[in-house]
Amino acid sequence: MSDFPSNTSTTSTEGTTSTMENAKNTVYDNASAAANAVGNHPLTQSVVNGPMADNVRDQHQKTQAEFSNLASSRTTPTTQTATGQQLTHYHSFFYNLLSWENPRASGIAYLSTVAFIFAARYLDILRYSFKITYMTLFVTVLAEGLGKLAFSHGLTSQFRPKKYYTVSKETLDSVLGDVHELINFFVIESQRVLFAENVFVSLTALIGSFISYYLIKLIPFWGLTLIATSVLFISPLVYKTNKELIDNTLAQISSIVNQQTEQVKQLASQHASHVAETTKQYAGEYAHKAQEMIGSARSRSGSPEASRVASPTAKTNGIKEEDFPAAPKEEFKSGIPAEEEPLIAA
């Protein structure tokens, strides 16, 4: 008699399992029937097979093709830096993206970037991510608990995959390789701009940083990021659309600048030659005068009369030269004869 409770429990478990399977199959069948009914409806068929649907499918295929072309453009370019280093495949990728060679892919990338900027500005992404996380966990835990209470089997565990998803080593190596190439792209480009490998690009970066220095005082960071993104994407598109007009305008401006530069060079050359001639003339005159002065000084220093310089007598307080007696012209003579000393004989 001890086997009866066990059989009863087993029968109850099998009945519960079959009931869950039947309920799941019923829900699946009803959903499939509803989907088929909607899909086979004449209105749905007219929309799906109509010209609008054909246009949507055509645009979808073209968009997929352009994204495939954009992805395949990540090839290492043949050009090298001024130091002889190889560029990264992201140089080709960003050139293809920003040059609008695949307009649908570039447009979607631009709109996605703008949407992300606005989302980061007006949506609390971190807070909403926590909210989505706890709501998802609440549903899964509640379904698992109610399933075990009602059917002795959790509902969430029924949707558990047979094998959890893992990241393969090849995928991780590929991702790390792309990250490495992307970092090197920014490092190389910053150095190329800093050391003026392309003067036009460095000048553009100079103007952009100068304008940003003053705009950051008036515009928040997200607004400045939006402006920079728009300029980065829209400027190549404007140039590509009006390439002929812009090239002709730049050629005219370059011609005018070259003409003005040539005129300035000619004027500077004329003024320099005039200044050189004037300087040479004055230098010759001053050299001639200096030689004359040196010659006259030598001639005067060689004559005997020039060595005699008469110093005028100073006249002060009404005293004249005649007020003093004449100076003696003979030597003084002693009036007392000197006594002769006797010679002492030895």
Domain ranges, residue 278? 249-294
pLDDT digits (tens, 9 = 90+) for 293-341: 887 777 766 555 544 544 444 445 556 666 666 666 666 555 555 555 5
Give the pLDDT confidence score for residue 346 in this predicted structure. Answer: 43
In a domain, 45, yes or no: yes
Final residue in a domain of this structure, among 294, 311, 327 = 294
Nearest-CA neighbor of 70 among 87, 48, 40, 92?
A: 92
Rounded to whole angstroms, the Cα distance separating 255 from 172 reads 54
Q: How far is the C-alpha of 304 from the C-alpha of 326, rounded, in Å?
A: 27
C-alpha separations of 315 from 35, 63, 119, 310, 322 in Å: 139, 117, 106, 15, 11
Could you tell me if residue 265 is inside a domain?
yes
Number of domains in the chain: 2
Q: Quick check: is 50 in a domain?
A: yes
Measured CA angle at 147 (ends 144, 151), to 5 deg: 150
Please give the residue that has the higher pLDDT: either 34 or 135: 135
Residue 228 falls within a domain, yes or no?
no
**Which residues, in sequence order, are CB contacts of 6 under 8 Å at separation 6+?**
none
d(CA 114, CA 107): 11
User: What pLDDT score was predicted for residue 170?
Assistant: 93
Measured over the CA atoms of residue 33, residue 34, residue 38 and residue 39, the dihedral's sign is: negative
83 within some domain: no
Confidence of residue 15 (pLDDT cuts 50, 70, 90): low
Q: Cα(259)–Cα(253) distance, rounded to whole angstroms?
A: 10
159 neighbors 144 (Cβ within 8 angstroms): no
pLDDT of residue 2: 45
Q: Which of 17, 32, 63 delimits the end of a domain?
A: 63
Residue 49 lies in a domain: yes
- Residue 242 belongs to a domain: no
Q: Which of 160, 152, 159 is nearest to 17 (CA)?
A: 152
In a domain, 274, yes or no: yes
